[in-house]
Structure 1
Amino acid sequence: MTNSKKHSKASDIAILGIFIAIMVVIQLLSKIVYTVWPFPIQPTLVHIPVIIGSIILGWRKGAFLGFAMGMISFLNSTFAPIPTSFLFSPFAPHGNGWSLFVAFIPRIIVGILPFFIYQLAKNRFGAGLSGFFGSATNTVLVLSSAFLFFNNELNMTFKALIASIIATNSIAESIAATVLTAALVPILSKMRK
């Protein structure tokens, strides 16, 4: 392995570490802020570093970041449970093996899909589009998985599922992901060259 390849691999590992650290900080700050947040909308923002990492580092490392997001969700639901923690941890009341599917698989896909969307238009528009679809993928796959595997616990109808996809935090999450991805990807791409 040449020195430049070693340097590139070490750089990618360092960048992965930074993205994971950002995800942990976002998760911790979100928990603190949302305890005093006066609004009913509490958007998830942890998926944004996964989306940006997918575009900047490639789909394999994006999948790893998605796995890390799933692990954050799993650990948070296991050690700081809320009423819906069973969706992400088999150790929460009403959780089971499918909780691991809901926690990890949608997030891993969020780490893969944006890279391929960005390949269609490698510009600010493509980055924004990747952010939008990455965020939408997270929302749709998590809620669909919850509906499929935990409908007895959630008592959701299909109509309620669709309404929750459209009307909940997903709009705020998609806007945030679109704007931040479009703003940050061009800057980070230039820095990596």
Structure 2
Amino acid sequence: MPETNCPPLSLAGQSLAEIAAAIEERGAPPVDQWNPEHCGDSDMRIARDGTWYHQGSPIRRKAMTRLFSTVLRREEDGSHVLVTPVEKLSIEVERTAFRAIAMTSEGEGEERTLAFELDSGDLVIAGPDHPLSIRQCEDGPSPRLAVRHGLEAELDRPVYYELAELALEHNPPGVWSNGQFFTFAS
């Protein structure tokens, strides 16, 4: 059965203007406005590699994980919840809620804009509302992109290397996107 409710978006073959239009058209539920009482635990987990699990078993239907990802939010205390207007359930997130699996770049220097494709089927344009950062973790640097509602995407290694190559063009190392400079110097 084809997926019609929330089909995945892709960077492939799209200009930045088309990417921005697709993001605008998709929209997102207003989970930041929903504040029901906490109802319990979802028995769900998002593993470090981006795999979603329910009661210990991987969720194999991508359409299902895409649907869940639309009602995911990070709380002020750092915990994650799945939230609807009437229900709020805890979900364990091992590292970040999303993975950035592809990147495209348009423009040069201060005019550059970077767009990222997430494993959830969403697209995000890095900029003031979606900053790039590097978090130092026990196992080394973790390159991240702010997505929405406190959620982040960790960049997959090939995407990180592609970004690092662009960052090394500047001193200090960093990249421009959507009018914002993100420095990666420590």
TM-score of the aligned structures, taking structure 2 as reference length: 0.25
More strand by share: 2
TM-score of the aligned structures, taking structure 1 as reference length: 0.24
More helix by share: 1
